Each structure stands twice: as C-alpha cells, then as structure tokens.
Structure 1
Amino acid sequence: MSTRGFRWIGASAPGGALYVEWERPEGLGSSTPIVLVHGGGGQGTDWLGTPDGRPGWAPLLVELGWPVYVVDRPGYGRAAGTGPEAAERGPAPVREMTAGIFASGADPRHTQWPGPGGPDDPAIVQLTASSAGIALDQAAAQRHDGEQLVRLLEDIGPAVVVTHSLGAPAGWLAAAARPDLVRAVVAIEPPGPPFLDAPQIGLSLGWGLTSAPLPYDPPVTSPEELRQAAKPTLPGLKYLPVAVVEAEASPLGGGARAVAEYLREVGAHADHLRLVDHEVRGNGHGMVLELNNHEVLDVVLTWLGTLDLPS
C-alpha cells in the first residue's frame, strides 16, 4: 500500500511552476526520497511507465520501498501552461528526430528498445506524442529549473536527485546551491562533455556543466573567466556522491566519462557507471524506458547502496 498526491511548486514564480507527483510506500523502506527529473523535451510520464506499457522507474522504486517525487519541469507535461508566454521554444520533436535519439536502428548493439525502431515504431510514436520543444534560452530555463528544484527540496527535505539527459543541469544547479538538501545525484547520460558548444541543437555548456552560472571558487563572472581560472572548484558539490550513467549503444553517451572526470576536478565524488561493466547490455539513451529498465535501475540502486543514506 502507498499514499500519493501532487502539488505545484512556485506557482507564482514568473518563470513557471514545477509540477510534482509523489508516492510514498507504507511500512518499511527508505526514509530518503528520490526525485526524478525528466530530460530534454520529455515529461514526468517518462518515469511512470514505458512506451509499451510496462512499469517505469517511479512505480518500481515505490515497490522497493522508496518515497518518490516525479517532476514536470516548467513548460513541459502538466506544467506546459505555466511557463512565461514570451519564452521561445524550438519546434516539437518529430518522429524522425525521436527515433534518431532513442531508436534509429543504426547500432546493432542496441537491442533493448521496446520496438523495431524508426519513425513508424509504435513506441517512438508514443514517445514523440509526449515530447515538446526545448527552450531556446537554456541559461534562463536551467536557472529557473534549478531554483524550482531547490524549492521542492526545501519542502520535502534531503533527497537523492536522479536526472535524465538535459534534466541534469537542474540537478547540478540545485546541488551547488543547497548541498545540504542533496544526498546524491544520479545523472543518466547528462549533456557533455563539459564546455560543450553545440549551436546546432541550441546548447552551450559555457559554465562547464550548465548553460546557467554555477557558484565556483574562486568566483568567476563569465564563461571566459572560468576558462582562464586555475583549478576552480564548486564548493556546493564538494564530496557530493555522483553517479554518471552511460549506456552501451547510446548516441549521446560519449561525454559521460568526461563529465565524471570534471566533477571530480571540481570536488565531487563522482563515479562513471558504464552499464556494460555491470553486464547490462544493449541499451540506448532511453535506458529508463527500455526492455531491461529494471536491470538498469538495479545498477543505480546497487551504487546507492554503497552510500550512507538514512534508512
């Protein structure tokens, strides 16, 4: 048995509200909540179930005794109407784009996607239907996402933050701002490598891990100044346990090792978790949705089990 509900965080904030759906198991389990932050143009339903109708990570975690909070970032999913009207967004993904990211069929190692791949794959059709365009001003969007995530953590207390893909900057910003409220971060293929400049997709990680400013020490006022700084650190991430997860056959996992290395350079305790090293094979970028999503989750939970989290 469990209790569940929903709430809005920052409903009066000019940048839009964060929608939060929560579920807590009754009886024995962990007292540490897990906050699930969706990626890119996705939404919280990415954690609730898979495109072919199997349980997602949220119900799997609740079944294992974890309190879970699933968010829709401002402008996405059930929070789609809360963002500022003037905020410009890129076009909504079409099926060809979704397939290219999640199931193009080009890599024969990619065996875990729940469908044949390509734009006519029913699973791709389902996933595309839930997707939205990405904010063109990524610095402003990431800054606001991080602020709203902090507000949620102030409400529920210290938690493990799990992010997917472009949801990662919100996690880095929240942890850097309020390290007392983040027990650990699990970043599923975050954008990288650090300082990535990809104008073709409207993304520039000028602050290393984010497009929005991060609080470095010594303080810096611009990405250019950061580039010239000698051994800057992020005090808010110092000693923070971080797992950067990489799938075997993902077109977007190539920066994972570099992200983990950079996190260690700025002070975090970061591990690079390659699924193949844990005998979990055949996954792409959408590993939380794939046929063996429970096995991917087992790798993450095994890592969390090495930490001294409150029971």
Structure 2
Amino acid sequence: MRDMIVSLMLSIATPALAAEPIALRDMGSFHVGGRLVEISGKPVKEVVFTPGGVPAKIDPNGTYQVEQMYVQYFLPANEKGAYPLLMWHGGGLTGATYETTPDGREGWLNYFLRRGWSVYNSDAVERGRAGWAQYPDIFKGEPVFLTTANPFERFRIGAGPNSYDPDPAKRKLMPGSQFPNEGYENFTKQNVPRWTTNDDATLAAYIAEIDRVCPCVILFHSQAGAFGFKAAQARPDKVKGLIAVEPAGVGDPAKVDVLKGIPSLLVYGDFIEQDSRWPKIRATGLAFADGIRAAGGTADVVDLPKAGIKGNSHMMMMDKNNAEVAALIQTWLEGKGLAKP
C-alpha cells in the first residue's frame, strides 16, 4: 500500500461545500512507547464474558504491556510540508480533537492534509486507542471524569459558572462565541477519563514517537503544552518547529536555551481576561516565550483578537472559524520555510 494512491471523499455537513477528494499515498497506524509491568498477589477470579456463557478463570497476576501511545498517520500524495506534522491533544481528550468538528465540518487534520502535510495524529497514554492500565496498581490515583457542564464553562465557551444548560437555547455563550453550540453534545462524547499522575509516561511515549517519526513539526494543545516543549528540549535536533495552541504548561525554564534553534508559535484565543484561570496560564506561556527570545531563539505570540480573529474558545480547532485560525498557522509555517506555499 506504500505506493498506492488512495482517494478519500470526506463528507461534511453541507453538500454544497463538498471539497475535492484527499489523495493519499499511504495511511495507517501504530503504537509506540510503553513498558512491561509485573503484577502479583491478586486473587484469581471467575468471569462470565457473555451472558449465559461458560465462566472462565482469570488470573490477574502476570506481565502487562502498559503506557503505550496510539498514532494514526496520513501521508499525502503531493507532499508540501518540509517535515511531518505531529498533532498532540489536550487533557481528557483524544486525537478526535483534530478530526471532524462537533458540528460536522472538517477539522485541522484535513486542513493540513489538504495543504500537503504528512499528519501523525495520536491518542496519548491513557486515552482512547492507547488503552488503560490497572489503577492504582499501575496508573497511580484515580481518573478524573468531567460533567457535561465542565468543559462548557472551563474552556471559555460559556460565560463563566452556571452558563451551561442542557437546552442549547438556554446556554449563556461568550458574546460572539465561535464555538458551534449546536454540536456541544457531540464534543462531550469525545471526553475521556484523565489521570493527573501519568505525565512522565506520557512524555516518554511522545519522545518515542519523535524518535520513530521525526525530524518533524509539532502542533500541541492545552495539557500537551508541557509535553511539546519538554519533548523538544529532549530532542532538539529532531524538532524543527513548535506550534503551541493555548498551552496549559511549558517546558523547563532552566533549559530554555535548548529551544533557541527551533521556531515557536504560541496562539491564544478570546475571552482570556474574563476567565479566572487563563490570565495566569497565558502569563506563564508569555514568560516562557520571553525566555526563548532572551536565549536568542524565535518565539512568536499571536493573540487572535489582536489579529482581528475574534470569538475563539479554548477549543479553537473546533470553532466555526477553525479554518481561519489554521490559515494563520499555515502562513507562519510557510514564513519559517517549513512548508511550500
């Protein structure tokens, strides 16, 4: 299949807006990273897997494969990116973040594929097709689960606390919000459990992906902010560009000079000053960008409202103007010589 041209007609919400098929030379997936762990001292159990079936004895003691990451790749027939583009999602989410939007439009995965990027989209450790492990035996602590209201109020979609309502017509959106309110339920269906104790394992898996795929450019969102910068600090020779979409964390300030040869872009959406947490989170990102510049590197910061792009939530890759934000990123990549116009 490596040399086969595969044309995919990807459906979108309105037939009148149907785009040209995407021509691929290959697509596939793999798991990367992880480790083997021994568990002992557990009782043997009898399990009935199918109602009315014959019970089977399950011995939970033994060796387990854990902390791996799932990666799906799409390689365009007409490649224009100088390097592959890795997409890393945020907390409590999966690679679905970059796929079809909750209201049925094309996501950033398709956008950058159409512009000739080889895209590697992942489900990080503990998410989606990466799989789980026993907790607290292996995944320490318990997972965090989110109510349907939590992302609406925390991701600057709704106008603060108590802005969510099950009835879309009764929700209080940020004024001029670009998030597709009619698709919000579809967004909550993407949410997955999140552990707060697996950062080391997640970073290790991301570095394993870099070792397998790169040199590359990495686009990362929210929780992956710390992973993106730290992975680049661990493999500066293999990372050629960093796009931090509202990073919730940063790299090691003591090693910021390691990033001076890697052009970086930090993108922030709207309504930040109206939020209780995001002014401080953004200030941390700006301070880290200042450190990169002080070390002689390039770190460009774009506040979308100041660039004339208004109404964006924390989930800007899903917002109604997601293509406009992606175009800004694409222009930056071209300006850094990382993509052909």
Q: What range is the shorter-chain TM-score in?
A: 0.7 to 0.9
Match of 2:227 in 1: 170
From 283, 300, 304, the equivalent of 2:333 is: 304
Matched, 1:147 2:201: no
Which has more helix, going by share of residues? 1
Q: SS at 2:125's partner residue?
A: coil
Q: CA deviation at 1:256?
A: 2.5
Question: Could you list the per-position Cα deviations for residues 91-150 of structure 1 after superposition, in whole angstroms to 9, with x for gaps in the alignment?
Answer: 3111010211232245643420101xxxxxx5232222221232132xxx2222222112
For 1:13 and 1:301, locate their aligned partners in 2 and report how far apart those are by CA, in whole Å: 40
Match of 2:153 in 1: 100
Match of 1:78 in 2: 129
Q: Gaps spanning 5+ residues in structure 1: where?
A: 116-121, 193-208, 217-231
Contact 2:80–2:339, Cα closer than 8 Å, also in 1: no
Total equivalences in the alignment:
267
Contact 2:179–2:312, Cα closer than 8 Å, also in 1: yes
Q: CA deviation at 1:13?
A: 5.5
Q: CA deviation at 1:253?
A: 4.3
Runs of 4+ in structure 1 deviating by more than 4 angstroms, as ranges, are 82-85
Q: CA deviation at 1:291?
A: 0.5
Rate the CA distance shift 1:142–1:172 in 2: closer, same or farther, 3 A. Answer: farther
Q: SS at 2:67's partner residue?
A: coil
Contact 2:67–2:202, Cα closer than 8 Å, also in 1: no
* Structure with the greater alpha carbon radius of gyration: 2
Q: SS at 1:259's partner residue?
A: helix
Match of 1:10 in 2: 33
Rate the CA distance shift 1:310–1:301 in 2: closer, same or farther, 3 A. Answer: closer
Rate the CA distance shift 1:13–1:310 in 2: closer, same or farther, 3 A. Answer: farther
For 2:270 and 2:300, locate their aligned partners in 1 and report how far apart those are by CA, in whole Å: 16
For 2:287 and 2:333, locate their aligned partners in 1 and report how far apart those are by CA, in whole Å: 19
Match of 2:72 in 1: 21
Q: Is the deviation greater in 102-111 or in 263-272? A: 102-111
Aligned pairs for 1:190-269 within 5 A: 190-191=247-248, 209=250, 214=252, 232-250=254-272, 251=275, 253-254=278-279, 255-266=281-292, 267=295, 268-269=297-298
For 2:235 and 2:246, locate their aligned partners in 1 and report how far apart those are by CA, in whole Å: 23
Match of 2:117 in 1: 66
User: Under a length normalisation based on structure 1, what TM-score does the superposition of the two structures give?
Assistant: 0.79
Which has more strand, going by share of residues? 2
Rate the CA distance shift 1:233–1:81 in 2: closer, same or farther, 3 A. Answer: closer
Identity over aligned residues, as a percent? 24
Question: Could you list the per-position Cα deviations for residues 2-44 of structure 1 after superposition, in whole angstroms to 9, with x for gaps in the alignment?
Answer: 0211110025455511100110110242231110000010100
Contact 2:79–2:117, Cα closer than 8 Å, also in 1: no
Give the AA of the match of 1:99: F
For 1:21 and 1:97, locate their aligned partners in 2 and report how far apart those are by CA, in whole Å: 29
Give the AA of the match of 2:158: S
